[in-house]
């Protein structure tokens, strides 16, 4: 994997007129001058990410809340999320967990991994390769 750059979820754009919702990632600490790129995600993932950003929870657990409960029930610590690759216009992510003294890396959709990162307030990293290929 190429060098990792710390990033942050800059914003989530939910559109009622288009099918794809947008999550903007940008280099952390660089403000508007930093590199940034967008990942198109589904409406359910966008709503879950927005809820996580606002610290809100739905009245009944949905998929992401179920994931949080499973992780908490297993005493798994979310260490970080990495947007690791971009291949054929598809982004890839890795969720890094610590369970006891063991580190586990789980392949994940970026939309799910980023929602988990926002919920647990853990660092987000993007490979330099992804920034080079996707940044505006």
What's the CA gap between 21 and 19, in Å, rounded?
7
Of 62, 27, 24, residue with least CA distance to 40: 24
What's the CA gap between 41 and 59, in Å, rounded?
23
Query: Is residue 124 over pLDDT 90?
Result: yes
Domains held by the chain: number: 1
Write the CATH number for 40: 3.10.690.10
Q: Which residues pair with 9 in a beta bridge?
A: 25
| First-residue to last-residue Cα distance in the chain | 21
Say what the pLDDT of residue 1 is. Answer: 60
Does this model's pTM top 0.85? My answer is yes
pLDDT average, residue stretch 36-62: 91
Say what the pLDDT of residue 22 is. Answer: 95
Structural domain of residue 53, as residue ranges? 4-134
Segment 82-99, tens digit of pLDDT:
999 999 999 999 999 999
């Amino acid at each position: 994997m190429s060098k990792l750059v710390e990033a942050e979820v800059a914003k989530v754009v939910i559109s009622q007129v288009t099918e794809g919702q947008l999550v903007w990632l940008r280099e952390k600490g660089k403000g508007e001058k930093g590199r940034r790129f967008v990942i198109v995600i589904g409406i359910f993932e966008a709503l879950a990410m927005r809820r996580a950003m606002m610290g809100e929870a739905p009245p009944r657990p949905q998929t992401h809340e179920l994931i949080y409960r499973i992780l908490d029930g297993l005493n798994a610590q979310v260490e970080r999320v990495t947007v690791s690759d971009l291949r054929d216009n598809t982004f890839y992510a890795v969720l890094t967990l610590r369970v006891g003294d063991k580190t586990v890396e789980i392949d994940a959709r970026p939309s799910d991994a980023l929602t988990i990162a926002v919920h647990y307030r853990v660092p987000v990293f993007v490979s330099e390769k992804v920034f080079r290929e996707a940044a505006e």
